[in-house]
Structure 1
C-alpha cells in the first residue's frame, strides 16, 4: 500500500515528506514503546504512535523507517517537524485513535508486522 493511500484512508494531514507519498509500505506497527519498535519493526513498515517527541524520529532513523503517523490528533512541535524533514521521514497526523487507525489499515489489507519470524 502506498503512503498516499494510507493518508486518504486515515484522513491524515501530511506534515513532512509529501514528496515521498508514492513509497510503498508493506506492514504497519502501532506502539508507544520505542523499545518494541526497535525490536520488531523494519524499514518496510509504517509506525503509528501517540508519542509526540523527537525520540520517535531517532528511533525511525536507527531502523531506516521512512513514515510515522501520529494518532489522536497529536500536533508535532517545530523540533519534531525539523528533525523529520532533516531525516527525510514522512510525518502525518490523524484524529483517529491508534486502535481505529490500525483497524482501518488492516481492513484494507495492510498486514501487521510479524513479530514471530
Structure 2
C-alpha cells in the first residue's frame, strides 16, 4: 500500500518525509509500548502509535521502520522533527485513535506483522 493512500485513508497530515509518500509498505504494527516494537523481527513496516516523543522516532530508526503514523492528534515536537528528517522517517499525523487507524488500514489490505 502506498503511504499516500495511508495518509488519505486516515485523513492524515504529513509532517516529515514528504518525499516518501510514493513508497509502498505491506505491514504495520500498532503500539504505544516501544519495547514491544523492538521485538518485531520484520523491517520496513509502518509503526502506528500515539507516543509523541523522541523515543518513538529512535525506536522506528532502530527497528528499520521508516514510516510512523501518529494517532490521537498528538503534536510532533521540534526534536522529533529534527531526528525524523535526519533519518528520513515519514511522519503522518492523524486525528483518529490508534484502534481506528489500525482498523481502517487492516480493512484496506495492510497486513499485521504477526
* TM-score, shorter chain, exceeding 0.5: yes
Q: Please, what TM-score do these two structures have when normalized by structure 2?
A: 0.96
Report what 1:45 is aligned to: 45
Change (3 A) 1:103 1:41: farther
RMSD between superposed Cα atoms in Å = 0.9
Q: How does 1:68-83 map to 2 (within 5 A)?
A: 68-83=68-83
Shift of 1:75: 1.0
TM-score under structure 1 length normalisation: 0.94
Tell me how many residue pairs correspond in the alignment.
114
Please list every run of 5 or more consecutive structure 1 residues that lacks an aligned counterpart in the other structure: none
Deviation at residue 41 of structure 1 after TM alignment: 5.3
Mapped contact 2:68–2:89 kept (Cα < 8 A): yes
Distance, in Å, in 1 between the alignment partners of 2:97 and 2:74 is: 10
Provide the C-alpha distance between the structure 1 equivalents of 2:13 and 2:23, rounded to a whole number of angstroms. 17
Q: Provide runs of 4+ in structure 1 moved above 2 Å.
A: 41-44
**Structure 1 contact 29–41 (Cα < 8 Å) conserved:** no
